[in-house]
Amino acid sequence: MEWCLKQPKIELHAHLNGSVRNSTLLELAKVQGEKGVVVFADVEHVIMKNDRSLVECFKMFDLIHVLTTDHETVTRITREVIEDFAAENIVYVELRTTPKRNEAKGMTKRSYMEAVIDGLRSVDTVDVSFIPSDLNRENSSRYFASNDNGITRRRIFVRLLLSIDRRESTAAAMDTVQLALELRSLGVVGIDLSGNPLVGNWDTFLQPLLFAKDKGLPITLHCGEYL
């Protein structure tokens, strides 16, 4: 395990909400429990369960959506997720997330993604390169960077994929594709179709995905799409 941790690695399939620390989820659940949004005793075992079935995995994602509803929390979990990847010597990660709306919190799909980007910018344990041009910066080593004080730190390259949830409508999926195109200069590299494979209809997403393809946005599909 020590040898594995020392090796530089790449992560090509990371979900933001699927990578949140259990300790953070428990903390957020307690806060929401005090507000009456959830019953902490009912969700604690859901968070701490290790061997989940597919159905239980999507129940977990539903719970995380309830717990991560404001911009500050989205920024926090993004920062922590990147810190955790960097601690495992991940040097490149493709991080996908579904842009969310929450009118009660004044959250739009764009402001959600801005909160994610704020999280990337707030990491201070490692140098985070998420702008595409960063790949071409001249350095003594691609995986290390020097700050203004000449101190060398490890670097992690992060690229973002915007996920279309299978529960979404065609219009909502198209909104996500448009947003991905607008945020290309800030590290968005593609579109992801994800969510419960037992929900939704393929025809709902065909038009937005073809539009993304026509605009040169790479597309990733989860294995459930082939069932």
Q: For position 138, what pLDDT does the model report? A: 43
- Three-state SS across 115-163? HHHHHHHHCCCCEEECCHHHHHCCCCCCCEEECCCCCEEEEEEEEEEEE
Question: Average pLDDT over the chain, rounded to whole?
Answer: 89
In the chain, where the domains are located:
2-20+68-222, 21-67
pLDDT at position 50 over 60: yes
pLDDT at position 116 over 60: yes
Catalytic-role residue among 27, 56, 88, 225: 225
In the chain, the amino acid numbered 103 is E
Task: Give the model's confidence band at 10: pLDDT under 50 very low, under 70 low, under 90 confident, else very high.
Answer: very high
Give catalytic status of residue 27 as yes or no: no
Rounded percentage of the chain residues whose pLDDT exceeds 90: 71
What gap in Å lies between CA 170 and CA 152, rounded to an integer?
Answer: 47
pLDDT at position 215 over 90: yes
Mean pLDDT of 70-90: 97
Q: For position 227, what pLDDT does the model report? A: 42
The HSE-up count of residue 19 (CA atoms within 13 Å, CB side) is 22
In b/e form, how buried is each residue of 60-76, taking b as 16+ CB within 10 angstroms? bbebbeebbbebebbbb
In the beta sheet, which residues pair with residue 97?
162
Give the pLDDT confidence of 123-171 residue by residue, as tens digits: 999 999 998 765 545 444 565 655 555 556 789 999 999 999 999 999 9
By DSSP bridging, strand 144-146 and strand 152-165 are antiparallel
| Domain 2-20+68-222: which CATH number of 3.40.50.10490, 3.20.20.140, 3.40.630.40, 1.10.150.120 | 3.20.20.140
